[in-house]
Chain A
Amino acid sequence: MTTTIRLQQEDFDAAAEATALTRGRTNIGAVVTFTGICRGGERGESIAAMTLEHYPGMAEAEIARHVEEAKGRWPLLGVTVIHRYGRLVPGDNIVLVVTAAAHRGEAFAAAEFLMDYLKTSAPFWKQEERSDGKTWVDAKSTDDAAAARWSRGPRKPEAAE
């Protein structure tokens, strides 16, 4: 199991990260990559930029805790999580989750699980810049609900092969 967790200001290359995770390995049958991208607007209101603040030390630790939990739930062969911080403009990459497993079911499930928990429990805060000033983004109840479904019941249904 290869785990990479990075917080960085600079951009990342999703394809290169996925290749790095699988290179030289023949036990991996599925790789899922998720990239979160800065949108240019929300409900018709355009944003000029977004600044991501984070809690250094805790952000890495919190992501690592959830990667450990994902490894306990699914037979993963590799996980890469990269989260950017600082000022980003629309179209910029924000976050990358790559999961590798023998079969697609566990790779899809683990990627979704990690993203749901990143949204609600990793200490990052987004501030948007609009024409009328800067505003902190409110947490969404839909994100809490998305994370909560993973704690309901013992496990997700068995992964498809």
Chain B
Amino acid sequence: MKVLYFAWVRERVGKADEMLEPPAEIRTVAEFMRWLSGRGEEYAHAFENGQVIRVAIDKTHAKPDALIAGAREIAFFPPMTGG
């Protein structure tokens, strides 16, 4: 699936997007974030304060317990500050 990062999450991870296939036992958004954190120092830094990070599945806001099965696109970003 396509994984996207925005704002300071993007800066910490060091890339705007990438294609990733998490293992089958990763079922929820929260599990996916923990799995990402283990991918390296930059990911650990980006997701160290995981409860503040917001998630969207296929361009719709999703909660930490949302299932990722079937998702084409998952995005991680800080709380929004537009308007």
* A binding-site residues for B, Cβ under 8 Å: 36, 52-55, 57-59, 61-62, 83, 94-95, 115, 118-127, 136-139, 143
Band of interface residues on B: 10 to 19
Knowing A118-B83, A136-B8 are in contact, say whether A57-B59 is a contact too (CB < 8 A). Answer: yes
| Residue in A52, A57, A61 whose beta carbon sits within 8 Å of that of B82 in the complex | A52
A115 partner residues in chain B, CB cutoff 8 A? 83
A119 x B7 contact (CB < 8 A): no
A126 x B6 contact (CB < 8 A): no
**8 A Cβ contacts from B14-41 to A:** none
A94–B83 alpha-carbon span in the complex (Å): 7
- Main SS of the interface on chain A? mixed
B44 at the interface (CB under 8 A from A): no
| Residue in B4, B7, B61, B78 whose beta carbon sits within 8 Å of that of A121 in the complex | B61
Chain B nearest CB, measured from A65 CB (Å): 8
* B binding-site residues for A, Cβ under 8 Å: 4, 6-8, 56, 59-61, 75, 77-83
Knowing A53-B7, A55-B6 are in contact, say whether A126-B81 is a contact too (CB < 8 A). Answer: yes
B6 x A53 contact (CB < 8 A): yes
Query: Which of the listed residues B7, B59, B81, B83 has the most CB atoms from chain A within 10 Å of its own CB?
Result: B83
A136 partner residues in chain B, CB cutoff 8 A? 7-8, 78, 81
In the complex, residue of chain A having the shortest beta-carbon distance to the beta carbon of B54? A123
A119 partner residues in chain B, CB cutoff 8 A? 80-83
A35–B32 alpha-carbon span in the complex (Å): 39
Task: Rank and list the top 6 A-B pairs by shortest CB-CB distance, nearest first.
Answer: A124-B82, A139-B79, A119-B83, A125-B7, A58-B59, A118-B83
Chain B nearest CB, measured from A68 CB (Å): 13
| Residue in A55, A58, A124 whose beta carbon sits within 8 Å of that of B81 in the complex | A124
A121–B4 alpha-carbon span in the complex (Å): 17
In the complex, residue of chain B having the shortest beta-carbon distance to the beta carbon of A139? B79
A94–B81 alpha-carbon span in the complex (Å): 12
